[in-house]
Amino acid sequence: MAETKVKKGIKITPKVGGSSSASATGKYGAEQITVLEGLEAVRRRPGMYIGTTGPAGLHHLVIEVFDNGRDEAMGGFADDIEIAFLPGNRVRVVDNGRGIPVDIHSKTKVSALETVMTVLHAGGKFGGEGYKVSGGLHGVGVSVVNALSKHLQAEVHRDGGKYLQEYKDGGKPMGKVRKVAASKLHGTIITFEPDASIFPEREFSFETIVAHMRQQAYLVRGLRISILDFRGVTQTIDSDNVFYLREAKIDVPSMTFYFEGGLRSLVAFQNRHLEPVHKSVFYVEKEQDAVHVEVALQYVDDIGSRISAFANNIYNSEGGMHITGFKTALTRTINAQLKNGNGKDGETFTGDDVLEGLTAVVSVKMREVQFEGQTKSKLGSVEARGAVDAVFSESFAAFLEEHPDEARAIFGKVTLAMKARKAAKAAKDSILRKGALDGMTLPGKLADCQTKLAEEGELFIVEGDSAGGTAKMGRDRRIQAILPLRGKILNIERARIDKMLASEQIKNLVVALGTAIGDIFDIEKLRYHKIIIATDADVDGAHIRTLLLTLFYRHFRPVIDGGYLYIAQPPLYKIKKGKEIFYAYAEEEKIKLAGKDVPLESELSEEPPTLEAAETETKTKSSKVSVQRYKGLGEMNSDELWETTMDPARRILKLVTIEDAQDADNVFDMLMGTDVPARKSFIQSHAKEATLDI
């Protein structure tokens, strides 16, 4: 049976079989070669241009349009950008730059605006003096947005005029560009509506865009970025006659960012919940071999590292050449200072030692930037490596010499990391020698499945022996394995591997997964391609789930990135209507199925009822409706657990994803770390969003 996955409200059923017409007939000639004209290629294969048609790809559209205005600001032509979410899944992006040219292009014989909006690889960033430094490709980014939109309107203010052109159904022009009014302003306004036939979900996240724009404001000093959400506004918005919608004076959710501190401020922001090892943030800005280099860093009292990489203000989640140059220079510079009397003879720090507790931001800007992959996640420009190495090593060496107190604090932190690494390695080697993680001896509490194919296997991590016993009886033994946990696992946020492996609970989980941990971790050895966290719907269950998510985020990140980690959604209520049984997974479902005033079975008193209670009971019996509230998986029998939580054909699973790794990292620091005031403030701020089980 093909399983139906439920992910964020969308059911996806895998296709089975099928063949193309060419393969079916056996013909393969010129007529089988498809030539895609204009933007048709983008609509046919959108994932090649924006990575995915899921939520990440949807938000990538906003970022592509924003990048054009941001590049104007990087060139000194703009200082104010506004992003507005409008009713009807529309987005409006405004910048006060020079405005896209509207005169006729000599090659395409249409306006430069239409060329940029409808022709791939056409724009001001491929050569000439239009842009000395840019983050993306003007013609690629905005033309791709146009191709994937149901409707797009481009409004340009330049040369004393206001010009307009509209496009529909994937970039088809609705007439030529026209001058509609005189204007003393300058800039570009792009308003677009993503195509529902391309994007299954078109609900933009205000928080996702805010997080990205905060980051960009740090990177472009002096740039004002505003985000406004008009989706809940019922009154008419006069967007055609207002340049910035904030001038409409309508009270809506909004956020504005403006930073003069640049990367220093970004490092301080990332360390706001952590204890600094040294007070001042190191910073250098210099140009080397036509590469503009900026680096800021600070060590904190933590065992992890946080390195953010940017090339032309594009976030490189996978790093690249500039990060390679930075890490090489950091290790070499600290070891050179070690030999100059700051450490013991014979000691040498490794790359892991100097990275522990480090928060750093590395940013390069260059004219000819090369990325690996369309989504620009990794910088491939080789010259960036040498430029960052040279600029950072020289400046950081001078910083350590000129700031002896800071240098001592950093060397103390790195030395402590080296000693801890050696101790952890000795403890880990001792455990490995005993064969605890060699995959030969599975934990006794694990009820393994019969299949040996990882793509078929499912591991349910359940809370408590009671639920574990029920799950073992109700499971499909062929594909489903059960691992019960006894109570709450160790909080690993600040624990090293040796301490983690001393915990029987964590060791059992590591052995069951089969991947090992730390520097010998191997995702290819993962024994199950569905790892499902199944905890009770109460406070303790939520705590255990958070501890497990912390463990996977910090030490099994590829499991999350690979789409292997899920959270089970057991029902909250069992509802009987005569002989029919229903399950409700939310309070709204219960009310819809059973009615608002039907009491829970646990609320029906065995004491002699009052007149009012007797009427209620009579009403309940006459309607033959009873409601049972589940507080734990162990309260279900094996059949109930199977049909509600474990049956692939009927269950609901939530896929665990990391939309923004940096934000997730900060939240885990705050919730699971040692900064009690920050955690208290977070809980107080978000208390109203919590679902309480009282």
Catalytic member of 103, 352, 538, 587: 538
Contact 321, 395 (CB under 8 A): no
Pairwise CA distance, residues 462 & 533, whole Å? 6
The residue assigned the tokens 């030969």 is 440
CA-wise closest residue to 303 among 687, 672, 655, 589: 672
561 catalytic residue (yes or no): no
Catalytic member of 40, 285, 301, 540: 540
Q: What is the 3-state secondary structure (H, E, C) of 296-320?
A: EEEEECCCCCEEEEEECCEECCCCE
Contact 309, 343 (CB under 8 A): no
Helix (H) or strand (E) holding 567: strand 565-568
Q: Could you give the C-alpha distances from 95 to 61, 212, 262, 407, in angstroms and in order?
A: 16, 17, 20, 43
Catalytic member of 353, 463, 493, 640: 463
159 catalytic residue (yes or no): no
Q: Is 436 helix (H, G, I), strand (E, B) or coil?
A: coil
463 catalytic residue (yes or no): yes
Q: Is 371 helix (H, G, I), strand (E, B) or coil?
A: strand
72 catalytic residue (yes or no): no
CA-wise closest residue to 369 among 381, 387, 382, 386: 381
Q: Could you give the C-alpha distances from 265 to 221, 260, 297, 574, in angstroms and in order?
A: 10, 8, 11, 52
Catalytic member of 71, 406, 536, 660: 536
Q: Could you give the C-alpha distances from 422 to 114, 263, 335, 417, 497, in angstroms and in order?
A: 62, 33, 17, 9, 12
Pairwise CA distance, residues 583 & 672, whole Å? 34
β strands within 354-513, DSSP E: 358-365, 458-463, 480-485
Supply the residues annotated as catalytic.
Answer: 463, 536, 538, 540
